[in-house]
Amino acid sequence: MTILIDILAVLGGFGLLIWSADQFVTGASATARNLGVSPLIIGLTIVGFGTSAPEMLVSAFAAADGNPGLSVGNALGSNIANITLILGTTALFYPLSVHSGILKREYPLLIISTLIVSLLVYFDNHLGQLDGLLMVTALLCIMFWMVHVTIKNRDHDPLEIEFDHEIPANLTMFQALKLLIVGMVVLLASSKLLVWGAINIAVFFNVSDLIIGLTIVAIGTSLPELAASIVSARKNEHDIAIGNVIGSNMFNTLGVMGIPGLIAPGLLPDGVLSRDLPVIIILTLLLFIMASGMRGKGRITRTEGGILLSIFIAYEVMLFFEATAG
């Protein structure tokens, strides 16, 4: 009976998390638009932050409850799921083409961010407060730089047109603020509910917090990005579909990963340095090769989507056998 309540808490947490994240992003985007902020700036900042808000809040609550392994697993697992599950599934249905020059500037930043985080923790296997502070500071600097470059080079990037179509323009300020506040309140409550249920499931099955974070929690918190990417690709808004993943991974790498360092510094769980970080580095480089246009036009084909999805399945199977063997 207890485990059933925990499972219901996780499922209910996921459902409320997805709904509230959508309300929060819609409300925040509409509020900013009503204040005269350009759709492109909204997309690069508010939408990017909002789609990663579930991971950030789950990470913060888990670390505050003394389960930093769940936080780290959530950050790393979400990055892996974003590239393999989300882009893989989306490309299988709708092969993705990249046109935005902004995204091509973000690829190297994502690679550099991933390598910096790996170097910070590689030599001492420790995620400390200084590491967390450096990660969060780097994220803020990257956001500021991207906004600065975007404002300076107003060349009607294709991404701006896509954001302009997606960001609500017909909501009053009252309606936008109501969605923003309701979304944030439910987002906080559902994150807490999800973390509570996930921790109890980990204890019940005697599975590490890291594994739960890498699998159940990471996949669940990535569902909004999966839905958004498929919908965007179906509307032929390929740059948003890929941009959601790049932006989310940037926030996860520096923001979500930095939170447990700030709140609950300590040694990294076993398997992070030897298994999970190398997988993320390889996948990030693979995404760069596929979508950056190194081979000509940036494009993720159906075949490449199938490869990415196969990697996701293989990784999850590997985690399952490692968990059951332990």
**What are the residue boundaries of the structural domains of the chain, listed by start?**
2-325
d(CA 154, CA 126): 42
pLDDT score, position 154: 59
**Assigned fold of 2-325:** A middle domain of Talin 1 (1.20.1420)
How far, rounded to the nearest angstrom, does the alpha carbon of residue 146 sit from its chain's CA centroid? 18
d(CA 47, CA 25): 6
Q: Which residues are within 8 A (CB) of 297 and not within 5 positions of it... i.e. 6 or more apart?
A: 97, 98
pLDDT score, position 273: 94
pLDDT score, position 294: 57
Closest to 166 measured CA to CA, from 18, 47, 291, 34: 47
* Intervals of the chain under pLDDT 50: none
pLDDT score, position 297: 66
* Tokens found for residue 64: 């505050």
pLDDT score, position 1: 67
pLDDT score, position 268: 95
pLDDT score, position 12: 93
d(CA 221, CA 58): 9
pLDDT score, position 168: 84
Q: Where are the beta strands (DSSP E) in the chain?
A: 96-97, 126-127, 266-267, 299-300
Residue with token string 């991974």: 249
d(CA 163, CA 53): 19
- Tell me which H or E stretch contains 227: helix 218-234
Crossing angle of helices 238-251 and 218-234, in 10° steps, is 160
d(CA 292, CA 106): 10
d(CA 192, CA 10): 10
pLDDT score, position 262: 96
d(CA 10, CA 299): 36
pLDDT score, position 326: 58
pLDDT score, position 148: 81
Q: Which residues are within 8 A (CB) of 140 and not within 5 positions of it... i.e. 6 or more apart?
A: none
pLDDT score, position 256: 94
Q: Is 110 exposed, middle or buried (0-12, 13-18, 19+ CB in 10 A)?
A: buried
